[in-house]
A and B are shown apart, each in its own frame.
Chain A
């Protein structure tokens, strides 16, 4: 293979690419709802604690592991984690670092295409929400448009024989993603992010200025004004700090927002040079993500919602990513002067936020395929494109209730991220050792990692992660597991208990139970098939890891991290041969 070794074009380029990967829909839609539901301003206390104890330490570990892997000629999570974890177990766990971005791409690019579809429709005159209707009617209209775009009312997106407009937007979005990933790092992803990130910031600031200068609603000026909206988001409720749910929500927000444990940073950092700074770069990309999340996401959505919908309707229609973004905000834009223009800007900004993330999801898989199978960039991109499109088609087909999307998101996009992050920090601070890890991190660094963060990496981050993971599983896994494995009798017993708790009796209770059981039984095939897709992808990645390991070993490469990189031993870089 004679292809040129890939590298980032500039220091700012890699920072913007990693920040672009981290800044996504969650920054603008999930964060404000999460904060408002969990103590408002008080939420920021556990949020910043999690930033310092989880996000920054694990992020720095991942950046360092990636660059070190690159020095040994590796760019994929399985190979790099094998080096830091010194053996096969870590290497196969590293396969989950490829699974996460790939499987999340299966559904994320579809959400991304919805954003583009919404932006286009706003440019064309709106999505049909009448400015003069009452809030309930407007929310119903925006839900109906959402169902039309996402096919969430029935399975089979082509079953009615029509190609809906949202399918075309998925095709466009997929082509853009595959094209830029094929172009490579500096000519593709870096170039795209270097204009997309500033463009996203400009769009967000335009919408922010518009929101902060909104006049009070004349029908209820005392409640529906900008300060009331900001108060809804930021007024602290210190009682919430006594609730473990608040701490879990804050840690989860930081964790998922910064993309640590996602398998992307480790791949991106592997294309850095030995003397490129990982400490300042890691901190800067995290700071960029926080700026978008706190300073922009925390100011726009809920403030606008309160001004136009009032407090009660805002509480009812925000909280989740989809409800805030696709149910509440279209109502806001319908009521806002020049709302179609601001709606188009807003959804285009969400599209940019999403595409800078989705680009980063394909790159780790592409690198893994090229590295493990020894194929060219063109073949690697083609393989990844085929797998990604098949995954997309599965999620599009099983669209009813967004079940496939939700199942993959929960098990891969949530549970497995905890696992990979945990393995990474243990490999960094325990298996290879904290001293060696910090020494590697400080190569070429403009700033030193404070010793307290070193202590945190070894003791506090793994423990904190374990507690948060335990709480997360305790709260969420039983429900998802039941939906996957229970039979009719078990669903019926649970529904009876739930109905009795709601004080339902007689025919009303029977109707409630029947409806609940039928809904869950109808959902089970899609849930099980989604698990089949997850397991199939895991099997594929494990087999590819095994093939890659055999190949790397045959080439005499140090895949168990037993020796220093070639560039420390005076040999030519790339780790090809001559090590044993």
Chain B
């Protein structure tokens, strides 16, 4: 069944939109709806009038300044954002990479030392202790020492007599001189 006009109908009437015939007939016969329309129209005219006169009195800013401030705010915000990105990525990655690299280096060295030790322990020399006299030639001696495990080297050094110790000292001095002259 059909009742009074709805809010949308009143707005349509105020906007000049023609209502459906039924509703138009109702408006003609209903004092309440007619009164509502009249008062709503009066209020709307008041609001519109207030607007047209008030708009002239709105103080306006200096638009160049206004624009400049917006531009500056945008620029400073983008600079801040860039800075934040850089500090997050750029500021931290160098020390982190250096630390990581040094860790890899240390770990690699330790692993190679351990592996070498294991290899030497798995394949010990026939005599167990390397005889220094057998390998007293410079290159051979160095190779022999390099292939020995640390305890073996110390054991061998301890067992050297005076002549052998002197020979080893001279040999090491020669090697030091050679390396200095190369540098």
Q: Tell me if chain B binds chain A.
A: no
